[in-house]
Amino acid sequence: MTDGPLLDVQDLRVSYTTRAGEVPVVPGLSFQLNAGEALGLVGESGCGKSTVALAIVRYLGRSGRIVGGRIRFEGRELTTLDEAGLRAIRGRRIAMVYQDPMASLNPVMTVGHQLMEAPRTHEGVSGATARDRALAMLAEVKLADPEAVMERYPHQLSGGQQQRIVIAMALITGPALLIMDEPTTGLDVTVEAAVLDLVRELRSRHRSAILFISHNLGSVVRVCDRVAVMYRGELVEEGPVRRIFTNPRHPYTRGLLDCLPTLGSDKRQAPLVPIAGQVESALARAPGCGFAGRCAHVEIGRCTSHPIPIGEVYGEPDHHVACVRADELARWTRRSGATVTHDAGVVGEPMVAVHHLTKIYEPRRRWLRGPRAPVRAVSDVDLAAARGRTLAIVGESGCGKSTVAKVLSGLVVATAGGVTLDGVEVGALAVDARGAALKRKLQMVFQNPDSTLNPSHTVGYAIGRALRRLQGLSPADLAAGVEHLLEVVKLPPAMAARKPGHLSGGEKQRAAIARALAGDPEVIVADEPVSALDVSVQASIVNLLTEIQAARGATLVFISHDLAVVRYLADTVAVMYLGTVAELGSVERVFAPPYHPYTEALLSAVPVPDPDHAVARILLEGRVPRADEIPRGCPFATRCPRRIGPICDETPPPVQRFGADHRIACHIPGEELRRLQTALVEPRVVGR
């Protein structure tokens, strides 16, 4: 071992060769990582974070190339190391964990086999030793019953379990450096919280250094000591977590913090501030600050004439920033708007009402093998959304929230119970059976930006077709109609001629919102519309939805697993678990005690971008039961940290009402819950 940092990246330059020419994705990046330290690398998609990670292990692929600079790891120069040398380091000294665990695991090999592979090939240990190590590692990543897990195939495990296995595989050789590339993106909040806690715990035990890549400052705070913020391949700010979060000096870092919804704020108090524009292409680089084009504090000339050096922040020797105006900007304060009043309480007649809704999916009969158990996706759900208000449905994946959305939209039909839309019963009406007026009344915004628009059609065609079908617009008026809708969602008119392949995720989602608006709907059902987007883009889409809703007086049914977003834009919140509503109420009441124990656990799992925010985390043990093993009593009984006894397993919980607009389905009396629980969210100031 030599002295100095474990990983020393000096002036690293990486380019990709594309048809458009050589693209300098990373034009010069330097940072150090000491042994045992955790560094968070943060920035929007397209900022070159993953490129840096891949450059370190020299996995850039055919089109990528390190053009210059040095990467020293444990005193060895990685940029010039030959294949044999790299093989000795990869997997053994440097391990990687990627975003999608299913892509990292081999589907035809058992988990045990894959875990034992690394020690056997890299260290040449015997099968028995490797097996013992694998078992110990599985216990360390907190998987129950390691022996059984060893024999499983990846598809038999949940997403969270798979990511634990990948982490176990990465740590089993005791690497000096662990690179994690968006390891929790795509996981449910509760699972994400558990994985982040696990990483933090393993870190202190294994003394591995961690390079943690994320677009979300909230998740970085839980794991890292230092944060490096990257923009267009360059470091714009770097320093200890606490300094970055309490005194961010770079406008980009501030932008990333301002666009995060937090549990303490909502749309009326402190609107989210998205970062203007989007990450510019690395092709056309101006001589000055890379962020100048999107920066609110830009001074043409000073900022744009010459490269901006990274320098110490005045009075903070361990905090560096690349901004010429860093010392001039006022100190950053967390958004809050406690002075704004809020008009709670006025609730109109329900626009959408769900009564005792049950949806059972009957699996197809298999030839000669008898029927399979039906899947009860939603059982006996009651909800209502008032006209012009926002109803948010939250819960982990598989809780039935998307099924409710599908029944509302008529893509599936209710098995029992009903749905009324502006007084008209539509629960039994599939979308084909709904009249033109009903179709116009309710439109949907979908989750996946890559599948929401047809890649074969231009944006203009997609929106124009919706205008024709829903408004009956004549072909002559279509172009104007499309242009108007694009303007509403803040897209330039030229977008009409583009196909989705040339749009960013945020632009696709905007175009999809424009398509949904074509019929001038009174109800917009949005099924996880922002969960696949970067935080900075998420903020602008959330703002757009609230704006449109306010301007049109539309009712919004917003489905999400992100409680911070829900807190931000909802008026009424329904927390769903295993097809039932655990808690329902106005947003103020749901986010204040008494909580349903499940709400409490969800709230405590939300990543908060604030190092001083310490919450006793309630970790949910076990997994969501499968459809054929739903408990007879309370559906949450198998995982509930506040379970009081056999009554929870045997008897369905009573619905307790607290005032007109709050109800909880739990056996524990409300007073008792209130006594046990502390407020997890700072109360909202309600003025009169």
Partner 1 sequence: MSTPVAAGTLSASSPAASRVRARRWRRRLAALGESTPATVGIAIVLAWVVLAVLAPLIAPYPPNANDMAALAHTTPSKAHWLGTDHLGRDLLARVLWGARPVLVIAPLAVLGAAALGSLLGLSAGYFGRWIDLTITRACDIVLSFPVIILYMIILAHVGSSAWNIIGVLTLTKAPIIARIVRGMTLDLREREYVAAAKMRGESALYIMLVEILPNARGPLVVDMCLRTGYNVIIIGALGFLGIGLPPPDPDWGGMVKDTYGMMMVWPHMALVPCAAISSLVVGFNLLAVGLRELGLRD
Contacts with partner 1, residue ranges (CB under 8 A) = 409-411, 431-432, 434, 436, 439, 443-444, 446-448, 451-458, 460-462, 464-466, 468-470, 475, 478-479, 482, 494, 496-498, 501, 512, 515-516, 518-519
Residue 113 CA to residue 362 CA, distance in Å, equals 36
Residue 50 CA to residue 23 CA, distance in Å, equals 15
Residue placing its CB nearer to partner 1 in the complex, 13 or 468: 468
Residue 98 CA to residue 100 CA, distance in Å, equals 6
Residue placing its CB nearer to partner 1 in the complex, 452 or 586: 452
Q: Which of 541, 646, 651 lies closest to 275 in space, CA to CA?
A: 541
Which residues lie across from 228 on neighbouring strands? 41, 238
The nearest distance, CB 434 to partner 1, in angstroms, is 8
Phi, psi of 546 (to 5 degrees): -65, -40
The nearest distance, CB 455 to partner 1, in angstroms, is 6
The kind and range of the H/E element at 456 are none
The nearest distance, CB 464 to partner 1, in angstroms, is 4
The nearest distance, CB 465 to partner 1, in angstroms, is 5
3-state secondary structure (DSSP) of residue 574: strand
Residue 313 CA to residue 647 CA, distance in Å, equals 59
Residue placing its CB nearer to partner 1 in the complex, 461 or 658: 461
3-state secondary structure (DSSP) of residue 336: coil
The nearest distance, CB 448 to partner 1, in angstroms, is 6
Phi, psi of 319 (to 5 degrees): -125, 120
Tokens of 203: 């870190």
Residue placing its CB nearer to partner 1 in the complex, 447 or 536: 447
The nearest distance, CB 411 to partner 1, in angstroms, is 6
Q: Are strands 209-214 and 38-42 parallel, antiparallel or unpaired?
A: parallel
Q: Which of 12, 13, 15, 11 lies closest to 283 in space, CA to CA?
A: 15
Residue placing its CB nearer to partner 1 in the complex, 52 or 557: 557
- For residue 518, give the DSSP letter: T
Residue placing its CB nearer to partner 1 in the complex, 512 or 581: 512
Residue 1 CA to residue 72 CA, distance in Å, equals 12
Residue placing its CB nearer to partner 1 in the complex, 434 or 642: 434
The nearest distance, CB 548 to partner 1, in angstroms, is 17
Residue placing its CB nearer to partner 1 in the complex, 466 or 565: 466
Residue placing its CB nearer to partner 1 in the complex, 70 or 484: 484
- For residue 411, give the DSSP letter: S
Identity of residue 116: M
The nearest distance, CB 61 to partner 1, in angstroms, is 14
Tokens of 226: 């230092």
The nearest distance, CB 618 to partner 1, in angstroms, is 34
Tokens of 398: 């598989």
Residue 131 CA to residue 120 CA, distance in Å, equals 10
The nearest distance, CB 413 to partner 1, in angstroms, is 13
Residue 636 CA to residue 601 CA, distance in Å, equals 11
Residue placing its CB nearer to partner 1 in the complex, 326 or 442: 442
Residue placing its CB nearer to partner 1 in the complex, 135 or 479: 479
Could you tell me how many residues make up the chain?
688
Tokens of 238: 């770097």
* Burial class for 259, CB neighbours closer than 10 Å (0-12, 13-18, 19+): buried
Residue placing its CB nearer to partner 1 in the complex, 454 or 651: 454
The nearest distance, CB 623 to partner 1, in angstroms, is 25
Residue 401 CA to residue 377 CA, distance in Å, equals 9
Helix locations, 502-555, DSSP H: 505-517, 535-552
Q: Are strands 655-657 and 572-577 parallel, antiparallel or unpaired?
A: unpaired
The nearest distance, CB 79 to partner 1, in angstroms, is 28
Radius of gyration of the chain (CA): 26
